[in-house]
Amino acid sequence: MYSIEQFERPSVAADAAVFGLDAGQTEPRSGLRQRKLKLLLVRRGEEPFRGQRCLPGGFLRPGETVEQAAMRELTEETGVTEPKLMQLGVYSAPGRDPRGWILSCAFLALTRTVTPQTAAHSDAADAVWAEVSCTEADGISTLTVTDPDGTVLLQCENGRPVTNRIAFDHAQIIADGFRRLREEVAAHDLIFDLMPELFTVSDLQQPYEIITGTHTSPQNFRKKMMPRLAETELYNEAAAHRTAKLYRRKDGKV
Amino acid sequence: MYSIEQFERPSVAADAAVFGLDAGQTEPRSGLRQRKLKLLLVRRGEEPFRGQRCLPGGFLRPGETVEQAAMRELTEETGVTEPKLMQLGVYSAPGRDPRGWILSCAFLALTRTVTPQTAAHSDAADAVWAEVSCTEADGISTLTVTDPDGTVLLQCENGRPVTNRIAFDHAQIIADGFRRLREEVAAHDLIFDLMPELFTVSDLQQPYEIITGTHTSPQNFRKKMMPRLAETELYNEAAAHRTAKLYRRKDGKV
DNA sequence: GAAATAGTGTCTCTGAGACATTATATG
DNA sequence: CATATAATGTCTCAGAGACACTATTTC
């Protein structure tokens, strides 16, 4: 029987680009709440790239799938347990990791932002939600990732990193992940990963538009979303206006 | 510095699901040419699964990317060199390969069917284009892969293998690849991977419809495709009807 | 009543399918 | 002429955006 022992083998890492929306700050003057797109990052606790930001992740262990490895490392390093991870791609360029021959299997998720907590024994430290913003000008779309301390960690123009303080090749994974995030929210149903069991149409709209970078009227947004929603007989508690019906995600794909 | 030596490492394989359309048989009676969707398969020359069909592929070597590994193995085992490979997914379930801990990085491509040739030193043998057919009935879509010798190699219902003579977990890769193939042809521009530099609108339609399992009139197909096409001043040689203008794929994405 | 959001209806535009019509090639 | 395919135009329908309008809640 053919032996696999004769071949040199790579290490395989699983890294996760986990996006979320923060609760938002209420502006003292206007009173409107501006929620922001965030990305979960950790700080390297070891060489190489000690002290730099990178995606949460770690090495695949025997007996687990890459999905399980990504989820385990995510929980260990950030305390985040909720998201449904989706495969984003494999990064295998020689030299991408100075420690040696290491592939990364990258994942994407969208989830609610809970306060991150790093397990004591983890080799990562200081998990944070970094701010993600995206602007369009003259046909160039610029993606910016900013650390909570104000440092610009990453700037990408049209998907290519131009400023990059992120460890390894994780800048490219973040850029690819952001593009895929928009596709999945706009064309599929990834936005529902942010929602609780019951929600109003308005609850959907702000997250949808912050992530996709689009804007439509509440009326048209409602019409677009209705086929994916199932009515309930429940209403949310009233604010200073008419109560809103609560919806549930419709089972079947649309 | 952190050492990666302490971790056990998996082997990593790169496997390719390469689809193509054959030149087609001309029916002696009706005179119409029926082209068929094909999938490139090899025969295992070694244990395990010796003699069974599987996707062309092999182990990743130091210094190459998974894309390069998939292309190298594809060329060695089948002589096929043309296709642009696209990442399909990573398959990492424990036990998926009886030889031990082996991940597969799977790729997808669509290409013209050239006669396959297996390099002498390869561990695969007998590369063939197997016939792929897909039928819809009662909400169940059935995918069937048939060996040139008539053996049914694989039957999937709604993406799940129900009959499976394919080695390893390649049945699942094929099922996932077929679904993705349809998506990429219908929603993006993968169909152009089948076309030469210059082609007519009619040249596009039959491949498109065989792969997606759809049918529209030539008039409407033309209108749908025109935004993606750039006219030329050239015409193809005449048959027993009006000559057709030759088109080129339009540069920018649409 | 004022203010704010919920929800409905109407108009328009665009893209896709159905199908009529004209154009051009061969035999 | 018949026949076949190429190419254009017309009608209709469905989905999305613009926007008018009504409904319901609190203050």
Instruction: Write the pLDDT tens digit of every residue in B86-100.
Output: 999 999 999 999 999
Q: Which nucleotides of C are covered by protein (CB under 7 A)?
A: 3-9, 15-21, 23-27
How is residue A123 annotated by DSSP? Answer: S
Give dist(CA A81, CA A191) in Å, integer.
Answer: 18
Distances (CA, A) of A89 to A14, A38, A108, A248: 10, 21, 9, 31
Range B51-55 average pLDDT: 96
CB pairs under 8 A between A and B: 91
**Are A80 and A40 a contacting pair, CB within 8 Å?**
yes
Nearest residue of B to residue A50, measured between CA atoms: B1
Confidence at residue A3, expressed as pLDDT on a 0 to 100 scale: 55
Span B184-219, pLDDT tens digits: 999 888 999 999 999 999 999 999 999 999 999 999
Asked whether the predicted pLDDT for residue B29 surpasses 80, the reply is no
Whether A60 has its CB under 8 Å from any CB of chain B: the answer is yes
* Distance from residue B22's CA to nucleotide C24's C1', rounded to whole Å: 30
Banded model confidence at residue B26, pLDDT cuts 50, 70, 90 = low
Confidence at residue A80, expressed as pLDDT on a 0 to 100 scale: 87
Asked whether the predicted pLDDT for residue B119 surpasses 70, the reply is no
Give dist(CA B100, CA B168) in Å, integer.
Answer: 12
Nearest to A1 among B48, B59, B92 (CB): B48
Confidence at residue A22, expressed as pLDDT on a 0 to 100 scale: 86
Chain B residues with CB inside 8 Å of A65's CB?
A: 92-94
**Are B245 and B234 a contacting pair, CB within 8 Å?**
yes
Confidence at residue A25, expressed as pLDDT on a 0 to 100 scale: 64
Name, of A61-70, A111-120, A123-132, B74-83, the range with top average pLDDT. Answer: A61-70
This model's pTM is above 0.75: yes
- More confident call, B4 vs B117: B117
Residue of A179, A137, A139, A183 whose CA lies nearest to A161? A179
What ranges make up the beta strands (E) of A85-157? 86-91, 102-112, 124-137, 140-146, 152-157
Range A210-235 average pLDDT: 92
Exposed e or buried b per residue across A179-191, where buried means at least 16 C-beta atoms within 10 angstroms of its C-beta:
bbbbebbeeeebb
Asked whether the predicted pLDDT for residue A31 surpasses 80, the reply is no
Span A112-168, pLDDT tens digits: 877 777 665 666 678 999 999 999 888 789 999 999 999 999 999 999 999 999 999
Confidence at residue B105, expressed as pLDDT on a 0 to 100 scale: 98
Confidence at residue A120, expressed as pLDDT on a 0 to 100 scale: 57
List, in sequence order, the alpha helices (H) in B170-240.
170-187, 201-212, 218-225
Range B118-135 average pLDDT: 80
Confidence at residue A1, expressed as pLDDT on a 0 to 100 scale: 44
Confidence at residue B121, expressed as pLDDT on a 0 to 100 scale: 60
Confidence at residue A254, expressed as pLDDT on a 0 to 100 scale: 42
Q: CB neighbours of A180 closer than 8 A, spacing ≥ 6?
A: A88, A108
Give nearest nucleotide to A231 (CA–C1'). C7
Range A78-99 average pLDDT: 94
Mean pLDDT of chain B: 89
Range B89-115 average pLDDT: 94
Confidence at residue A122, expressed as pLDDT on a 0 to 100 scale: 66
Range A182-193 average pLDDT: 93
Mean pLDDT of chain A: 89
Banded model confidence at residue A72, pLDDT cuts 50, 70, 90 = very high
Asked whether the predicted pLDDT for residue B1 surpasses 50, the reply is no
Q: Which residues put CB within 7 Å of chain C, the nucleic strand?
A: A 200-202, 218-220, 222-223, 235, 239-245; B 214, 216-217, 219-221, 223-224, 238-243
* Distance from residue A241's CA to nucleotide C9's C1', rounded to whole Å: 21
What ranges make up the beta strands (E) of A51-208? 53-54, 57-59, 86-91, 102-112, 124-137, 140-146, 152-157, 160-164
Name, of A58-72, A110-124, B137-151, the range with top average pLDDT. Answer: A58-72
Given the structure tokens 């890459």, which residue do they identify?
A66
